[in-house]
Structure 1
Amino acid sequence: MHHIGIRRETKAGERRVPLIPAHVAELARDHGLRIAVQASPDRCHADDAYREAGADVVETLPPCRTILGVKEIPVDEMQRGSGHLCFSHTVKGQDYNMPMLRGVLRKGATLIDYELIVDRHSRRLIFFGRHAGYAGMVDTLWAFGRRMLDEGVETSLAAVRRAFDYASVDDAAEHLATEVADRIRTRGVMPEIHPLVVGFTGGGNVSQGAQEILDRLPVVDVAPDELPALAANANISRRAVYKVVFRRDDRRDFARYLPYLSILVNGIYWEPGSPKLMTRDDMRTLWGAGTPKLKVVGDITCDIDGSVECNVRSTIPANPVYVYDPDAHSASDGVRGRGPVVMAVDNLPAEFPIDASAHFGDSLFPFVVPLARANFDASYEHLSLPAAVTGAVVAHGGELAPGFGHLEEAMRKAGA
């Protein structure tokens, strides 16, 4: 039996890996682990790089003690008596993945969710979050440039490319900090869209990563309560982008800020039952009053029908946006139409796969050896996993793990 298996990702546009070849080489060399890697023509690191690192590259994964993926692992690829790590998108009771969770229970496999591996202060230890922010902000700026071109206004942001069209995060950041920023400094923001105001929600890695990208441009920070005065001041500089960060207390009656925003970048954590940030009624009211300033909503956290109700479906890197119709509550691909352009890519870090995978693998690496040595045939109480990993076990031995019993009701409601 192999200790670790790395599966081939099958989601469109997904090129990330949980471990890069350098990680595999160290695990094989220093810890004696046998590692199998499922062959893939799309992965950001070639099969040969894994072979050179000491892995067995195979078409179908053999029996493995632990299987590592990035996105959801199909039930028919799971192995009974093995651990499976991925972003399962089940722990909020997401109805679209409840059949998968039911299949995990029927198969008797062990499901561990990266999102739940946290320290004693509930801080996530394994994440792509900042890279989601990087890619999401680039795609959001690209979308704004495309939308304004469609409206007949050529802005400095028209030069921004989609995230996956850049070689790396550094490549995108440098382009923004030089060519795009220089255009704003020399040409200024077009009068039709001045002041260009970008609003951010959230204080975690997603929002911070997005803000890092915007900060490559000439930015002036403003407070939420300064927005009305900013809009009324005809003398403010056109050679800057205005940035506003909304803290938790600012989110009450959030609709009062919407008329002042050009772009909204959403990075808040949201669960079903939590308050909405921007509702259907908010958008109907905003567009019912005419053509508003708000052009793009970048929903980086990408909760469908979540904190921003204009997110009605997710998108892929190759086709990252749609226009939300606030009256019909529907979406149409592209940037043309009545309503905001919505960026809702649900695997944003895949647009910077090499950078994101190296960072992710570094954070996962300390847990790999214990996972490789674990006996997943043991009872939950005797799994002998690090405490942070034990708390992330969603299902084991045909049952939901302690703390996840509520998902039984979610599966029932989803008809699973």
Structure 2
Amino acid sequence: MPETLQLWMRHETRPSEHRAALSPRDAGRLVGHGVRLTVEDSPQRVFPLAEYVAAGCSTAPPGSWATDCPVEYYVLGLKELPPAPARLRHRHLMFGHAYRGQPGAPALLRRFADGGGALLDLESLVDDDGRRIAAFGRWAGYAGATLAVLRHRGALTAPLTRSTRAELDLRLRPPHRAGDGASALVIGADGRCGAGACEALRTAGIEPTRWTGPGTGAVDRSAVLAHDILVNAIGTAVPVAPFLTEDDLDDPGRRLSVVCDVTCDVGTDRNALPVYDRVTDWNRPVRRLRARPRPLDLIAIDNLPSLLAAEASRAYSAALWPHLLRLGEGSAVWDRCRREYRSALAAVGQR
């Protein structure tokens, strides 16, 4: 590296966010390559701060990036930033959800423009074929399908709590080894997210119907309604025909009783499930969409992988850390992120 790379991993402010963009093991690898890495303490992070200290990282109090972090550092996180400071002067690596017209995107981009910082949205960290280099998709799909099965069985309790793959597998298996005769449809089954959903369903004894990502043509919604469980795992950059409409929910022949929208594109023109207007959360993971002709429940949680924080974080970190080494160099991956940021600024009238 021509210059010493400086990273500051911040505490996540959302109480249900237990993940970390870097595991202690991979943080140690970065330190071994000469990276200066500061890790904020975080009471809910799945990895203890002591493990980062043992890996050679410096430490800082929660949220201190806003006041104490030198501007030369890249600030690394996952989910939303707190409302203050209003002007963002650092370069942030995070899932900003701000480049495709999502709710709140203009306000977030203006904060960066006003402060002179930049957003390198981890959603835009893709290879030459447009495929995500580091993603939480498998674990999002696994967690979402697990919650859908548990809800279908009447076994989902709230609030949700952090778990492990082994613990969720136990909840999926006994005493329902035969799968209760339930049927499930996974849309987008050919992607990471869909593969994780299929894993969970098979663990539960349910062989899912697998649909790959549909195009913009008509969707056989009668086939969707004929399943007990729907898991939407499709990610798309363009609008698609809706998988369900309000009229479908009132169909007297509807068998469908649980919908899990892992994608959570609500509020955008890419929302393939325009039958709800807000996500659910860990405290209230389920929202009832219809009581008749039979109950129909929705699960739409936008940080599902946090349920499996250790597994999800280790997998994500392993894919991300080698690319962090090239943040300050000429890198096609990061150059694409920077171009996306400039285009998003221009779209909201900022420079």
Give the alignment's TM-score, normalised by structure 2: 0.86
Equivalent position to 1:211, from 178, 182, 198: 198
Distance 1:53 1:247, change over 3 A: closer
Distance 1:347 1:167, change over 3 A: closer
Which residue does 1:277 correspond to in 2? 243
Deviation at 1:263, TM superposition (A): 0.8
Distance 2:29 2:44 in 1: 23
* Letter of the 2:333 counterpart: A
Distance 1:180 1:391, change over 3 A: farther
Larger Rg: 1
The 8 Å contact of residues 197 and 261 in structure 1, kept in 2 or not, is answered as yes
The alignment status of 1:96 with 2:98, answered yes or no, reads no
**What secondary structure, in the 3-state scheme, does the structure 2 residue paired with 1:215 have?**
helix
Deviation at 1:244, TM superposition (A): 1.2
Which residue does 1:58 correspond to in 2? 60
* Letter of the 2:247 counterpart: D
Deviation at 1:351, TM superposition (A): 0.6
Deviation at 1:83, TM superposition (A): 2.3
Distance 2:298 2:38 in 1: 39
The alignment status of 1:196 with 2:198, answered yes or no, reads no
Alignment of 1:216-365 (within 5 A): 216-220=203-207, 243-248=208-213, 252-271=218-237, 273-284=239-250, 286=251, 289=252, 292-305=254-267, 306-325=271-290, 339-365=295-321
Alignment of 1:6-17 (within 5 A): 6-17=9-20
Which residue does 1:120 correspond to in 2? 128
Distance 1:303 1:339, change over 3 A: farther
Distance 1:315 1:12 in 2: 15
Alignment of 1:60-99 (within 5 A): 60-61=64-65, 62-63=69-70, 64-74=72-82, 76=84, 80=89, 82-99=90-107
The 8 Å contact of residues 325 and 338 in structure 1, kept in 2 or not, is answered as yes
Distance 1:389 1:258, change over 3 A: same
CA RMSD after TM alignment: 2.8
Quick check: 127-136 or 274-283, which moved more? 274-283
Deviation at 1:181, TM superposition (A): 4.4
The 8 Å contact of residues 5 and 66 in structure 1, kept in 2 or not, is answered as yes
Distance 1:107 1:11, change over 3 A: same
Distance 1:406 1:293, change over 3 A: farther
The 8 Å contact of residues 4 and 33 in structure 1, kept in 2 or not, is answered as yes
Distance 1:129 1:198 in 2: 19
Distance 1:113 1:79, change over 3 A: same
Distance 1:407 1:140, change over 3 A: farther
Distance 1:217 1:111, change over 3 A: same
The alignment status of 1:392 with 2:337, answered yes or no, reads yes
Distance 1:323 1:73, change over 3 A: same
**What secondary structure, in the 3-state scheme, does the structure 1 residue paired with 2:185 have?**
strand
Distance 1:34 1:79, change over 3 A: farther
Deviation at 1:138, TM superposition (A): 0.9
Which residue does 1:226 correspond to in 2? none
Measured against aligned partners, the alpha-carbon deviations of 1:118-163 in whole angstroms (never above 9, x if no partner) come to 11111110110101011111111111122xxxxxxxxxxx4x7789
* Letter of the 1:113 counterpart: D
Deviation at 1:79, TM superposition (A): 5.2
The alignment status of 1:37 with 2:39, answered yes or no, reads yes
* Letter of the 2:198 counterpart: Q
Distance 2:194 2:239 in 1: 22
4+ residue runs over 6 A deviation:
160-163
Distance 1:249 1:407 in 2: 28
Which residue does 1:378 correspond to in 2? none
Measured against aligned partners, the alpha-carbon deviations of 1:353-384 in whole angstroms (never above 9, x if no partner) come to 1111101100111112222xx2xxxxxxxxx4
* Letter of the 2:194 counterpart: S
Distance 2:159 2:232 in 1: 17
Provide structure 1 residue ranges, at least 5 long, that are not aligned to the other structure. 147-157, 190-194, 221-242, 328-336, 375-383, 412-416
Paired residues in the alignment total: 335
**What secondary structure, in the 3-state scheme, does the structure 2 residue paired with 1:313 have?**
coil
**What secondary structure, in the 3-state scheme, does the structure 2 residue paired with 1:100 have?**
helix
Distance 1:141 1:8 in 2: 32
Distance 2:110 2:149 in 1: 40
The 8 Å contact of residues 75 and 100 in structure 1, kept in 2 or not, is answered as no
* Letter of the 1:176 counterpart: L
* Letter of the 2:203 counterpart: R
Distance 1:406 1:281, change over 3 A: farther
Give the alignment's TM-score, normalised by structure 1: 0.73
